[in-house]
Amino acid sequence: MAYTKIVWDWREAFSKFGFDDGDGWNGTDLVSDFMEKEFGLNIYCETWGCHNYMIMEICKKTDKKGKEVNLIPQDTDFDHGYDEPDEWMPPWWIDKLDDHFGDAYQVGAY
């Protein structure tokens, strides 16, 4: 039986040019679903023009009124979509993402 193997990194879900610049298979929803469940966050994904469908906001509620704050840095030297998310993410998030989406991770495997 023939099959296709796609090698990817969860960081592509944060990259404007990830997943073949949006022209290939896309695992952004796999990353966002994992982060929502594992870290209790609200993740918002969008397409960046004709480029990659990607994670645009990672939000958490900050008060009893349910106001959300985007945890991805804004108005700083960090350039979302171009710089690696490792530059702002807590190390324990990176460790969990690396572990979950490591070499043994498979989607649709038989």
Q: pLDDT of the chain along its 110 residues, tens only? A: 787 788 899 999 999 999 999 888 999 999 999 999 999 999 999 998 888 999 999 998 776 777 888 899 988 899 999 999 999 999 999 999 999 999 888 887 55
Coil, strand or helix: which one is 36? Answer: helix
Q: Are 60 and 41 in contact (CB under 8 A)?
A: yes
- State the pLDDT at residue 14: 96
For the chain, the distance separating the N- and C-terminal CA atoms, rounded to the nearest angstrom, is 11
Cα 73 to Cα 62: distance, rounded to the nearest angstrom: 16
pTM: 0.89
Distance of CA 21 to the CA centre of its chain: 14
- State the pLDDT at residue 50: 84
- State the pLDDT at residue 45: 96
